[in-house]
Structure 1
Amino acid sequence: MPQHDIIDNRNEKLVEHINRVLASSASARFAVGYFFLSGFTSIAERLQNLKELRLLIGNTTNRETLEQLVEGHNRLESARDALEAETFRTRSEVKQIADDAATRLRTSMESMDQTEENAALVHTLARMIAEQRLKVRIYTKGRLHAKAYVFDYGEVFDSAGKSMDRHERGLAIVGSSNLSLAGVSHNTELNVIVQGNANHAELACWFDALWEESQDFDEALMHEMRQSWAMAEVRPYDIYMKTLYTLVRDRLEGEAARVLWNDDIMQQLADFQKVAVQQAIAMIRQYRGAFVADVVGLGKSYIGAAIVKHFERTEHARPLIICPAPLVEMWEGYNETYHLNARVLSMGYLHANEEGGFHALLEDRKYRERDFVLIDESHNFRHSDTQRYKVLQTFLQEGKRCCLLTATPRNKSAWDVYNQIKLFHQEDRTELPIDPPDLREYFKRIEAGERKLPDLLYHLQIRRLRKHVLRWYGFAADTRRPLREMSAEAVQPYLAESQSAYVMVAGKPQFFPRRELETVEYSIEQTYRGLYQQLRGYLGKSREAQSTRRPANELCYARYGLWHYVVPAKRRQEPYASLQRAGVNLCGLMRILLFKRFESSVYAFRETIRRLLHVHELFLAALQRGTVATGEAAQSALYKAGEIWSDDLFVELQETSQEYSASD
C-alpha cells in the first residue's frame, strides 16, 4: 500500500482503488461529467453486492457526449469550451433535455458493438435498475465539472455475528477522472483520496444537493435498454440479416473512395468500375486471386490496370502482365501511361523450347521476381494439360497473387474454372466458405449437380451485365435522374434501350452503343436469278443421296472428312476408325450450315465463306508443320486467331492437337 493518497493512473490506478473500496462498501454515489460503458465494465463485478448506487451525470448539449452515456467507446476528441452555466431552466427545457438524451441513447445503443461483454453489461444495468439498486439522474443546470466517488462503508460484525460500530463512515475520491476506461486506468489524471468522517459527510451533502436538482433518467435508460439488441428478443429474420451482412460487408460499395488512390487511371474510371476494383482488391487479399469477368464492353482492361496500380503503389508489388500477343502493345501502352511498373509478356513465351522460353519466365530475374500477376484472357488457361499452363502454374507456385481478366471463365465445363483457380490456389484444401472445403471434391459435386458454381464464384469473381450497370449506375438521358431511384416498372424502357440512359465516365456522360436492327425483305429467285441453284450444286447433296463419284465442281468438305486421308493400313485402327462416321455427320452439318447462312443473307454467307477460307488456310499451315489441328480447343484457337499466322497460334495448336499424327 502506498504511503500517500494521490492517484495519477501511472503508479496508482484509479480502477484498482475503486474496486478495493467497493468490496467493503454498502452504497456509493458517483458524480461524473460523462458515463462510459468502458468504465462501468471495469468495476461491474464489484457492483453486484452494492445495496444502492446513485449515478449523477453531467449534462451537455454536445451529441457525442450524450452518446458516450451508453456507448462507452467514443470519447471527446478535444476539449470543448465550457458552457455557460444556466441556473434556471423551464419545465419544457428540462423535459427536452431528457427526451434528447433518450433519443441519443437509442441511437448509440443501436451502434454499440454487439459483443457478449456489452450484452452482459446492459443486462447488469437493467437488473440493478429493476431492483432499484441503480438510480441515474442528469444534472440539467449546466455542466457538471466536478468528479467525485463517494463510498459508504457497510456494517462489520464480530466473531459472534454481532454488528460493530465503525470509526469511519466511508471515504471519497475526488479529482479529474470520468467513469471511463481511460479515466480510471489510462489517462494522465490526478485524483486524491479524501478520508475522515467530516469530509465524507460534507461530500455526501454536496452530492445530495445536486441530486435533488437533477432530472430522473433511470426509467428512460431502462426503456431504451429493453428495446436494444442486447435485451430484445432476437427473431430468425434478425439472425438472417446479421448473417447476410457479415457475408457481404467486404463487398459493400460505400467504402470504395476510402481505399482507392486518386491516380490518373482512377480518375478515368466510372463508378461501377471503381467498385469492381475495390471488390477485386478485397478478394485478392483474402484468397490471393480474383476473376474480373464483366461482359464485353465494360472496360475490364481498365479495371485490371487500376488493380495492378493499386498493389504497385500501396504494397510495392512488382507486377507481371501476361496476355495474348495481339494485346501486348495495348498493355505496353497502359504500362507507360499509368506507370504500372510492370513487365508485359506474351502467352507465346510460356512453353518449353530450344530457345529457352521456359527458362525466360522461371529463371530470368526480370520475370522471376515479379510477385503480382495479371492474366488477360485467362480462359486460355482453362486446360491444365498444356505446356503453357504447366509453365505458368510452376511460376505461380510460390504464392504469387493473381488477377484474371476474362469475359468467359467457363467455356464448356466447370473444370475450366477449376483449372484457372488452381493457378493461384494450388492446394485443393481451401478456406473458401464452401462445403466440402476441398476444391476438387466441390467441383466433382458441381459436375454431379449437387453443388452450384456461382456459390463458389461469389467469393472470387466480379461479373456484371450491361443491364446491371445501367440499373444501378446509370442516369436517364431525358431527366438525368439516377435509374437506381426508379421503380422496376419505370426503369424498364431504359434497360430495354427504347429510352436512352448513360453512365458517368471520368466526369462525362457515356452511352452504350444501341443496336438498331432493320428487317430487309427480298425474293431469293428475283435477287439471285438462278445463282441460288448454282450454289446449291457447289454445296452438294446429302451423303446418302450422293453417287459414288462426286461431281468435279462440288465441295468435298475435306477438313471434316479426315478419314478419307488416313493411310489405308490404319483406317480400321483407333482413333482413326471412328472418324468415318463422324466425318459423314460433320460434312452434313457443314452443308446445312452453309445453306442456312446463304438463306439468311448474302453478307452472312460471304462472311462465313471468308472465315472458313481463313481457317482452312491456318489448318493447312499447321499441317505443313506436322500438326493436325483437331479437337475443341484447337478449333477454338483457329476461329479466334487473327488474320496473320503467328507462332503463338502454332504453339497453342501443337499443345491442343495431339490425338492424330500428321504422318498417318
Structure 2
Amino acid sequence: MISKPEVVTNQNGETVAKALAGYWQGLLDGMKTAPDLAISTAYFNPGGFSLLANQLERAGHVRLMLGAEPEVGEDLGRRRRLSGDTLPEDEERVRLAEALKEHHRLMEEDRNLIVFSREADKGILRMIEWLRSERVEVRLLRERFLHGKAFIVESNREGVLAGSSNFTYAGLARNAELNLGQYQPHVVGEVMGWYEEQWAKSEPFDLASLYDRRFAEYAPYVVYLKMLWERYKDEMGREEPPPGLDLTGFQRDGLYRATDYLQRHNGVLIADGVGLGKTYLAGELIRQGVIDRRQRVLLIAPATLRDGTWEQFLRQYDLKNVQSVSFQQLANEPRLGGNGTEPVLWHDPNDYAMVVIDEAHAYRNPDTGRAKTLRRLLAGSPLKQVVLLTATPVNNSLWDLYHLLSYFVRNDAAFLQAGIPSLREHFKEANAEDPDDLSPDKLFDILDAVAVRRTRRFVKRFYPDQRIKMGGREVTIVFPQPEVLRENYEMDDLLPGFFHRFAHALGADIEAEDSPLPSPEDFEYGEQLTLARYAPSAYRFGDDPDTFEL
C-alpha cells in the first residue's frame, strides 16, 4: 500500500525528504508508467537533490520551477526606500528585479560554500547529468515573486505536498518546516492549474550551467587573483578622505588599513621597517584623534624619542595638546599603581581615548612592572584605542608578539571566524614549531587583521618613485644603497700575541693537528680560565665535561 503523507515536518525523527521518498517510491513501484512530477521552489541545491536522487532519476517528466521569494524583495526594498531613489510607481518592478538578482547571488553563494571533496563532486555531477536529461525542464519565474512551494504528482492528479519547504537539504531535512498533503483529484487539479499559470509566465533557466562552473579549469594565477579579490575587495576602489599630513602613497595605504583595524579591534600594530615613516603614520592617527575628533591622546615613548623625534614632530604639526611621557614616567604614575607621589598624566587615565606607544616591544614581557602599569591604563572604561609602533615585534619568541597583541585583542576567540578558536592556543602551536619550518600562513590571518608591516624591499618594488614634500618642494624618495667597506686592523703591533693567549685561555686545544694557533714550544700561552662559570660541567662528579664548554 502506498504511503500518502498528510502532515510532514522535520522533527521527531521524521523529515520531509523521507516522506516524499516513501510516497514517490511507492508510486514508482506500483505504477506501470513512471509518474510525472512538477515542483515549485525558490531554491534547489545538490544537498536537496541527494536526498531524493534515487526517485527523481526514475521519475517520468519532471518540471522544476524556481523564483525569488517576496521576503528578499521586501528587505531590499526597505533599504532602497530609505534612500529615496525610486519613484512609487516603479517600486514593485524595481523590487522584483533586485530580488531576482539577489536570488541568483544566493544560489551562487550556496554553490561556492560546498566543500571540495570527491564525494561532493560526485553528487554534483550526478545532479548535473539529471538536469541535462531530456526528461527534466527547469524554468525561472521572472514576472512575479514565487512564494508557493509544492511537490506535485501530475499523473492522474495523484497528489500534492505543499507548504514551506524549499528543495534544499535544509528545507527537506533540517529546518522547522510544515507541509500538508492533499490527494483529492479536484484539489490536486486546482493546484496544477495554479502551477500551469506560473509555468507559462516563466522562462527556461540553465541551472546545470550554474554548477558546471565548479568544474571549470583555471590557471593557478587566476585562482590566486580571485583569492586576493575575495579577501580585499572591500578595500579596492574605495575613496578615503585625504590625510591631514603629507604622506606618501604607501603611508596612506598603511593609514587606511590601520584605521580599519582600529575600528574593528580597537588597536593596531604598526611594524613597518626602519625608515619607512612609522612616526608620520602614527602622527596622522594622533592628529585625527586630537584635531578631527577632539579627543585626548597619550603618547608613550623612550625618553630619548620623547625629547627628540616626538617633541619636534608635535611642535612642527601644532599638536601641543598631546601629552608625551616616557616609559619610566608612566611607571611612576600613582593612579596606575606607580611609586610616584605626584600625578604624571595631565588628565584622569580614563579620559584618554587613544594611547600610542613607540618602541612598543619594550612592553613585550607581561611580568614587568611597566607592562602591568600599561595594562592598568588600558583596562579603564571606555576602551581606549591602542597604537603600537615597533619594527621588531618579535625578539625572543612568538610570545613577544602575542603579548603585544593582547594589549588590545582582549577576547581569546576574536579570530574565530578565521578558524582560530583560541588565540593563545594558536600561538602556543606556532611557538612549538621549529622556526625554520614555521609557515607564514600560520599567523597570516591574525596579522592581516591587526598589523601594518612593509619592508623597504616591498616599498621599492610596489611603490616605486614615491614623492614626498620636504622644505616646501616635492622630492622622490630614494633609499640609500648600503656599501660594505673593508678595513684591515693590525692588532699585533698594539697587542702582540693577545688573541693567541685569549683563545687558549677560553679553552682552545693548541695541540690539535688542525689548530691554527702556534705550537706551545714556540709561544708562551699562560694559564687557561678555570672558574666554574667558564666550564661548570668540569666540576660535575663522575662525568666528563660537556664538549661544547671546552
Q: Which protein, 1 or 2, shows the higher relative CO under an 8 Å CA cutoff with sep ≥ 6?
A: 2
Bigger CA radius of gyration: 1
